[in-house]
Structure formats: C-alpha cells, structure tokens
C-alpha cells in the first residue's frame, strides 16, 4: 500500500527572512517543482519496481521464455493455451472459492471484533492481542497449522478422535483443503482487518450514538443504521485490499498442500509459480499473471463503484 501525503510548503526563516533573501537572489522553487521533487522518489520507485516489471511481464506473456535463453516472440500462443488449459480454469475456480470463503468469513468476523472492541472495551491490551496472529509469518503459521491439523499426528485430530468423531483430513482431502487454508488465513488476518475497521469506527462521531440512545434505539439498530452506513467507505477500501490479497494466496498453499491433493488447492498464484520456476515456462506464467491482473483490475473497479468507496455519508 502506498500512502501519498503532501503538506503545504513552509518556509522557516532561519535568522530573518529578509537577510536570507539577500543572500539567495534566485527565486525559490515554485509549488509545482517542489511537489515534483517530493513525489519524485516515490515515482521513480513506482516506475522502476512496478511499472517497468509490469510492462515487461506483459511483453513476456507474448513470448516463449525460459529465462536462460533469449525470449522468442510467439504472439498470442500463450493466451490460446491458457484458454484451452483445464488446469488454469481449475486454478481460477479454486482461487475464487478460496476468496469467497476467506473474505466472507474474515470480513464478518473482523467487523464483529471491531464493533466489540469499540463498544465493549477500552483495553489496549485486548486490541494488541487481537493483532498477534498477524505478527506471525504466513509460512510459520502455515506450518504450525499443518502440524496441528495433520490427520494422524496433529493435536487437532487427536482431540477430534478423543471426542469420538472420525478424524478429519483437513489438508489432505479435496473437499476440506480449500476451506481449511481459507480459515488458516482468516485466523492470521482477521485481527489486522479488525484493526483497520476499528480505526474506521473511531471516526464515527460519538454524539450520533448518544442521540440514537436518547431516541431509544437498540444496539443492533445503531449498528445497522449508524455504524454500517458510516463505516461503508472504510469497509469498502478494506474489502478491496483484502480481496486483492486473497486472490494472491500463495505461501500458505505452498507450505501446507503444495497444490494438492490432485489439483484441489492449486490456486492461480501457485500454478503460475510452478509454471515459471518448476517448468521454466516464464512466457506462459506471464500470460497467466496478466490474466490475474485483468481479473483483479475488473474486480477492483466493480467493487469501487458498487461500494462508492470514494464517498462518505459523514457530515
């Protein structure tokens, strides 16, 4: 995430403005030039690390390229292959399934946690505790959950077996694997998402709740009539960001299931990675990356429009 901030240029007179002007006869930089100066580092970074790789990636998607020999232009062949590749469509399907479960559960849970944090407690310790899973690296979280959920050796299944229920192959069965990975990532990200929403809630003026309470509104009514409408822009931005992140799930899959069983968790990013670094098909991998970029762009614009993320009902 990039946060661009600007502040009005200020001049700090060191020892008298007039004196300084005498010493420096040239005109000070205009606002535009100064702004450009401030923006330049970010723009250069954007161009070098984002814009150029993206453009190059798009170009590579029209080539056959194994990274070790020069790319060879093959036109739309990679895209043709993609359209006819059942594994690609399967990957897209499991990715969408993952995003639905992950974002659905995560957003509802995060919203609940955020509201509870705001309405019930002032404890900053509790706020910190909610965030702790986020402090763990994705890979570590994945491995820990993999151990805990292992069908035979995992403590989770030991408990399930002790209760008398059949062991559940959480990460080894095609029906369970995607929901399990989605839930592992909910566990890790829900606190962070809750914190973002909590920040949004803090911006809602308290007098609205007071007025509603005077009018005899219930807690639920205040939630639906005050909290939700006023939180909408924040919620929308959070959704856009988490959906983008969710579509790019990779590390948890890589350490828990490696795309299996069969292709049940072969999410798009994992398939792209395997094509590029396992099979050295960088051209095809680039084409699929471009497809992912297009999908995400469309989803982002649609989300942005539907949720009117740029407007607020406040004030």
For the bound state, the minimum distance from the C-beta of residue 174 to another protein, rounded and expressed in Å, comes to 6
Query: What is the number of helices (H) and of strands (E) in the chain?
Result: 15, 2
Q: Write out the residues near another protein by the rule CB under 8 A.
A: 1-2, 49-50, 53-54, 57, 66-69, 143, 146-147, 150-153, 166, 169, 171-174, 240-241, 244-245, 248, 255, 258-263, 266, 274-275, 277-280, 289, 292-293, 296-297, 300-301, 304-305, 309-310
Q: Give bridge partners of residue 73 from the DSSP assignment.
A: 63
- Residues 6 or more apart from 78 whose CB is under 8 A from it? 61, 62, 63, 64, 283, 284, 286, 287
Question: What is the DSSP secondary structure assignment for residue 49, as one 8-state letter?
Answer: I
Query: For the chain, percent helix, then strand, then coil, each to nearest 5?
Result: 70, 0, 30
How distant is the alpha carbon of residue 146 from its chain centre?
A: 22
For the bound state, the minimum distance from the C-beta of residue 80 to another protein, rounded and expressed in Å, comes to 15
**Do residues 180 and 255 lie in contact, with contact meaning Cβ atoms separated by under 8 Å?**
no
By C-beta, is 42 or 129 nearer to another protein? 42
By C-beta, is 173 or 210 nearer to another protein? 173
By C-beta, is 192 or 222 nearer to another protein? 192
For the bound state, the minimum distance from the C-beta of residue 248 to another protein, rounded and expressed in Å, comes to 7
By C-beta, is 274 or 283 nearer to another protein? 274
Query: What b/e string do you get for 49-68 counting C-beta neighbours within 10 Å, with b at 16 or more?
Result: eeeeeeeebeebbbbbbeee
Half-sphere exposure of 187 (CA within 13 A, CB side): 16
**Do residues 191 and 134 lie in contact, with contact meaning Cβ atoms separated by under 8 Å?**
yes
By C-beta, is 43 or 128 nearer to another protein? 43
Q: DSSP letter string over 264-286? A: TT--HHHHHHIIIIIT--HHHHH
For the bound state, the minimum distance from the C-beta of residue 37 to another protein, rounded and expressed in Å, comes to 21
By C-beta, is 28 or 45 nearer to another protein? 45
By C-beta, is 130 or 259 nearer to another protein? 259
Q: How far apart are CA 294 and CA 290, in angstroms?
A: 6
Q: Give bridge partners of residue 63 from the DSSP assignment.
A: 73
For the bound state, the minimum distance from the C-beta of residue 245 to another protein, rounded and expressed in Å, comes to 7
For the bound state, the minimum distance from the C-beta of residue 262 to another protein, rounded and expressed in Å, comes to 4
For the bound state, the minimum distance from the C-beta of residue 10 to another protein, rounded and expressed in Å, comes to 26
How distant is the alpha carbon of residue 296 from its chain centre?
A: 11
By C-beta, is 50 or 128 nearer to another protein? 50
**Do residues 41 and 49 lie in contact, with contact meaning Cβ atoms separated by under 8 Å?**
no
For the bound state, the minimum distance from the C-beta of residue 169 to another protein, rounded and expressed in Å, comes to 3
């Amino acid at each position: 995430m990039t946060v661009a901030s600007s502040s009005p240029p200020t001049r700090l007179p060191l020892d008298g403005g007039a004196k300084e002007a005498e010493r420096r006869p040239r005109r000070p930089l205009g606002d535009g030039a100064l702004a450009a100066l401030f923006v330049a580092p970010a723009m250069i970074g954007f161009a070098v690390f984002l814009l150029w790789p993206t453009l190059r990636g798009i170009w590579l998607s029209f080539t056959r390229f194994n990274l070790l020999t020069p790319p060879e232009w093959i036109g739309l062949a990679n895209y043709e292959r993609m359209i006819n590749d059942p594994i690609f469509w399967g990957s897209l399907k499991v990715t969408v399934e993952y995003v639905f479960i992950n974002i659905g559960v995560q957003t509802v849970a995060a919203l609940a946690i955020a509201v509870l944090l705001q309405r019930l407690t002032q404890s900053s310790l509790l706020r910190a505790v909610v965030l702790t899973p986020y402090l763990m690296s994705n890979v570590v979280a994945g491995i820990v959950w993999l151990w805990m959920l292992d069908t035979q050796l995992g403590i989770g299944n030991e408990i399930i077996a002790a209760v008398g229920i059949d062991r559940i192959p959480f990460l080894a069965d095609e029906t369970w694997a995607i929901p399990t990975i989605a839930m592992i990532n909910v566990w890790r990200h829900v606190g962070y998402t809750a914190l973002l929403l909590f920040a949004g809630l803090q911006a809602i003026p308290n007098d609205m709740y007071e007025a509603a309470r005077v009018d005899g509104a219930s807690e639920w009514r205040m939630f639906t009539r005050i909290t939700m409408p006023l939180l909408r822009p924040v919620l929308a931005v959070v959704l856009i960001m988490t959906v983008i992140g969710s579509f790019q799930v990779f590390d948890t899959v890589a350490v828990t299931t490696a795309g299996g069983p069969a292709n049940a968790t072969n999410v798009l990013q994992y398939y792209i990675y395997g094509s590029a670094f396992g099979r050295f098909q960088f051209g095809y991998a680039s084409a699929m990356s471009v497809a992912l970029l297009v999908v995400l762009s469309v989803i982002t614009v649609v989300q942005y429009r539907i949720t009117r993320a740029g407007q607020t009902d406040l004030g």
